[in-house]
Structure 1
Amino acid sequence: MSNVYVMDHPLIQHKISYIRREDTGSKDFRQMIGEVAALMCYEATRDLKLQDVKIKTPICEMIGKELSGKKMAVVPILRAGIGMVDGILNMIPAAKVGHIGLYRDPETFEPVEYYCKLPADCGERDVFVVDPMLATGGSCVAAIQMLKDKGVKNIRFMCIIAAPEGVERLQKEHPDVDVYVGALDEYLNEHKYIVPGLGDAGDRIFGTK
């Protein structure tokens, strides 16, 4: 899994354990999802290119570093992906935000598109597709294909918890996409839920059932 990066940072692992708990309420769950997303963004942007820039400190002039002008976008898969956006924007405030709406057919478990709104210049940006859970892989594979069909070339996928089945499918269908995973879990059960997982991320973020 050369392009799959599983986070081993202690803070990420600590916070993921907290959101897994069934007694963690929606308020704390939402907050912690954002914090995990911010920490993962820090790790996932480690290879961003820098350029020299002349600056003046209170003491003297110097050559510092800044991002080399590459534009970025965050595209959450609705609805649970929304929970990760603010954490990432806290790290990259200039990023644009798009939205892709998909739901899983309860019989076929395949994704069905119902909404897509992207920044006009999305094809020129490094795009982070985000969704807390990577289960079967159907939604993220479909979302990434939608982006490619619209001319996006540089795509990364970020999720908090993944099942091996979803990672395998994503790698098979989009081998050019780097995948950042907070925790790689054991398997999918007969209902296509990740085990041990954390339940339905969307319901837990928004307090719905």
Structure 2
Amino acid sequence: MSFLGQGAEAVAPALLGGRIVSLVGGERTVGRIVEVEAYTGLDDPASHSARRIGRTARNEAMFGLPDTAYVYLIYGVHWCLNVVTAPRGEPEAVLIRALEPMEGLPVMARRRERQRDLASGPGRLTQALGVNGSLDGHPLAQPPLRLELPRTEDRPSRIGVSGRIGIRRARRRPLRFFEEGSPHVSRGPHARLDLEPLSSQDLPEPPLP
């Protein structure tokens, strides 16, 4: 099984410190992943692929290969970027919630029409990277949108854990993971849980690039 096919709950915290590289529109923008949420498929009532929903045109990408982008629209305004993280036919994915801007900050600021909070939130980061629904189902191993797994030196030393943000079902499940102390983590109401932070040493190791 590939690293990215181990399931959303296992893969999500191990993505922290990785990078999303966008060449959309011929402009390079890069962000380091600092916040994610896991959606664990058929038995997760908050997932778009929950058993009560089934397989639809909207969530089709979730049933594809691991390392595929699942991009969807919320509130008719904001695109959200997810990474498929289970074998084909097992619809699990990790929502990328926040990035630390690394490259192409002027491009991000122009797209966002502001200088601050460029990628602190799922809708903000897709706008900053130029991501939209045309990239739904895109293989994240190739341009114009790539996922680079974290190197050992890029991984956070302490990983916070909480309930997920902006959902009503199963919001207390400890499936939101974030880099503790990062100013780029999104803000929003979430279920605060009395949990110890994770250590990156306890997570599965991505393959060497």
Bucket of the pairwise TM-score, normalised by the shorter protein: under 0.3
Structure 1 or 2: more strand by fraction: 1
Q: Max radius of gyration: which structure?
A: 1
Which structure shows the higher helix fraction?
1
TM-score by length of structure 2 reads: 0.26
